[in-house]
């Protein structure tokens, strides 16, 4: 797990809200090239590594997404603070009080700040605790001496500049991992670890596999293109959603039966369950009611594949998230077992 956690720490430290992912793409290209692979980057920003296997007539695709939630400057207020528009699906209260960084397109500089409710001070605003958090009253307090719109714009800040959130990544002595963007950088770290293992140990996969790191999943598109026609199985490695009526926890791998796009392929799901039982990997089956994945995006785009979804159990998804090393290990073990197994039998 040390290697996976190291990759995770490096990944979450790179700002990558959807639409602003070049830096994390560059990181992947560099790391994968150093491993000895020949990654390619598509026009849309997918980073793809193809690992030749014993069977190349029928192939596999496996994905993790490297884009995250974030925001974009919508307006500069008269007092110099910034109004935001959301990137990805989250409620405003989930980022209230979070430190952030404004990435200035005009000059390449960054400015730090904090995302706050306009009526934050309880000494001034009677309704501070009850007022609805919305786009109209959430703002960025910049860490610069600005008191009006002109002074803020003098920094180079303009509508359309991206805003990333502080990940605050912590690994506790008890094995918990707390951070923003565990969705889905845990999965990306797992794929990097396995790719490094296969190259270092000279492992030949039974099936040619395309490892795809997508960069626009949080806005619903995902890895829905550049899928070779030979691909017959498509596995999305993402996150398991936790909450009321959910079986998913922070200590097992979660296998998705159905999400907001509909049921996942039954035979594929059963193969994953069989691998868990055979390898004694702790797992849970679950339904994610308000969810979509790279695999569901590929299906909507018309991919002719069997599709499946699994991932580590993530508490408080799309907020300040948490999982446990046990869940990461179980997820990595299942992905490894799948990639080293034969294709699903008809």
pLDDT at 300: 93
pLDDT at 346 over 80: no
Just list the catalytic residues: 217
pLDDT at 259 over 70: yes
pLDDT at 326: 98
Mean pLDDT (whole number) for 151-159: 98
Its sign, for the CA torsion 270, 239, 340, 265, is: positive
pTM for this prediction = 0.97
- Which residue's structure tokens are 């719109």? 149
Nearest to 51 by CA among 66, 33, 38: 38
Q: Band the pLDDT of 79: cuts 50, 70, 90.
A: very high
pLDDT > 70 fraction of the chain, expressed in percent and rounded? 100
CATH 3.40.630.10 region(s) of the chain? 3-68+181-340
pLDDT at 1: 87
Instruction: Decide if 227 contacts 46 (C-beta within 8 A).
Output: no
pLDDT per position as a tens digit, 84-103: 999 999 999 999 999 999 99
CATH 2.40.30.40 region(s) of the chain? 70-165
- CA 39, CA 29: separation in Å to the nearest integer? 6
Mean pLDDT over the full length of the chain: 97
Instruction: Decide if 189 contacts 59 (C-beta within 8 A).
Output: no
Q: Band the pLDDT of 222: cuts 50, 70, 90.
A: confident
Fold assignment, 70-165 = Elongation Factor Tu (Ef-tu); domain 3 (2.40.30)
- CA 180, CA 101: separation in Å to the nearest integer? 14
CA distances for 142 relative to 79, 92, 155, 335, angstroms: 11, 18, 11, 43
Annotated binding site for Zn(2+): 65, 183, 218, 238, 318
CATH for 3-68+181-340?
Answer: 3.40.630.10
pLDDT > 90 fraction of the chain, expressed in percent and rounded? 98
Sheet of 321-324: strand order equals: 170-171, 176-179, 321-324
pLDDT at 80: 97
């Amino acid at each position: 797990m040390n290697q996976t956690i190291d990759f995770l720490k490096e990944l979450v430290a790179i700002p990558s809200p959807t639409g602003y992912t070049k830096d994390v793409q560059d990181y992947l290209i560099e790391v994968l090239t150093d491993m000895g692979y020949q990654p390619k980057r598509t026009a849309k920003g997918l980073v793809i590594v193809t690992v030749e296997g014993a069977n190349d007539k029928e192939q596999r695709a496996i994905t993790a997404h490297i884009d995250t939630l974030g925001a974009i400057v919508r307006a500069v207020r008269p007092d110099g603070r910034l109004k935001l528009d959301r990137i990805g699906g989250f409620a405003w209260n989930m980022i209230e009080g979070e430190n952030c960084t404004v990435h200035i397109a005009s000059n390449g500089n960054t400015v730090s700040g904090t995302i706050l409710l306009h009526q934050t001070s309880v000494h001034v605003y009677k309704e501070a605790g009850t007022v609805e958090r919305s786009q109209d009253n959430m703002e960025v307090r910049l860490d610069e001496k600005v008191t009006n719109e002109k002074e803020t714009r003098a920094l180079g800040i303009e509508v359309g500049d991206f805003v990333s959130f502080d990940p605050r990544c912590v690994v506790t002595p008890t094995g918990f991992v707390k951070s923003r963007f565990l969705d889905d950088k845990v999965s990306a770290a797992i794929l990097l670890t396995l790719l490094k293992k296969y190259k270092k140990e000279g492992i030949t996969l039974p099936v040619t596999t395309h490892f795809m790191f997508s960069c626009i999943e949080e806005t619903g598109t995902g890895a829905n293109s550049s899928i070779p026609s030979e691909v017959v199985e498509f596995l999305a490695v993402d996150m398991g959603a936790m909450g009321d009526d959910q079986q998913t926890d922070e200590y097992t791998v979660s296998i998705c039966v159905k999400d907001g796009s509909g049921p996942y392929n039954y035979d594929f799901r059963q193969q994953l369950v069989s691998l868990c039982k055979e390898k004694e990997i702790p797992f849970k089956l679950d339904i994610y009611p308000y969810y979509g994945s790279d695999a569901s995006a590929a299906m909507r785009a018309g991919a002719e594949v069997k599709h499946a979804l699994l991932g580590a159990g993530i508490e408080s998804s799309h907020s300040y998230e948490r999982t446990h090393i046990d869940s990461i290990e179980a997820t990595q073990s299942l992905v490894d077992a799948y990639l080293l197994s034969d294709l699903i039998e008809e």
